[in-house]
Amino acid sequence: MDRLAGDAEVIRLRDERLRIIRLGSILDVEGAETGLDGGLIVVVEGGREKVGLFVDELLGQQQIVIKSLETNFEKIEGVSGATILGDGRVALILDVAGVIRVWLTRQARAERRDYASKCLEEE
């Protein structure tokens, strides 16, 4: 793993360099794995961009029926819908392009904040 200017993390996968999105911080999960050795990176593509999603654990693969969250709720950025698992629990379905958008927005905001604090220091 390499670090580019500040918070941007990248990994090298064969000939490519992939940006890492820590899903735990995008989804505000408390207690999510923070050390890259403790989790896994899932390489995904969305909106013609390829990124690595850093997750705690992989559980499995299954076919599901997507249900809309908007029937009773609102649209949530980064989430395209939900599904009901075999045990009755609800699982959210990620929208990879949306997750990338959320991450870019936050990244830009963090940069602006850093820039602003730097300007203040200089003053």
Partner 1 sequence: METANSSTVQSVTADTSEVLTFVVDGQHYGVDILRVQEIRCWESVTRVPNTPDHIRGVLNLRGAIVPIIDLRIRLGLKQVEYEPTTVIVVLQVRSEHGSRTMGIVVDAVSDVCSVKSSDVQETPDFGVNVDTRYMRGITCVSDPMVIILDADRLLSSDAMSVTAI
How many residues touch partner 1 under the rule CB under 8 A: the total is 26
E strands in 1-123: 2-4, 8-13, 16-22, 40-46, 49-55, 79-84, 90-94
User: Do residues 20 and 52 lie in contact, with contact meaning Cβ atoms separated by under 8 Å?
Assistant: yes
Stretch binding partner 1 (CB under 8 A), from 9-17, 24-32, 41-49, 50-58: 24-32
25 CB contacts (<8 Å, ≥6 apart)? 32
Q: State yes or no: residue 113 binds partner 1 (CB under 8 A).
A: no
Q: Kindly identify the residues of this chain, within the stretch 65-94, that bind partner 1 according to CB under 8 A.
A: 67-69, 71-79, 82, 84, 88-92
Q: State yes or no: residue 29 binds partner 1 (CB under 8 A).
A: yes
Nearer to partner 1, 1 or 66 (CB): 66
Which residue ranges make up the site for partner 1 (CB under 8 A)?
26-29, 67-69, 71-79, 82, 84, 88-92, 102, 105-106
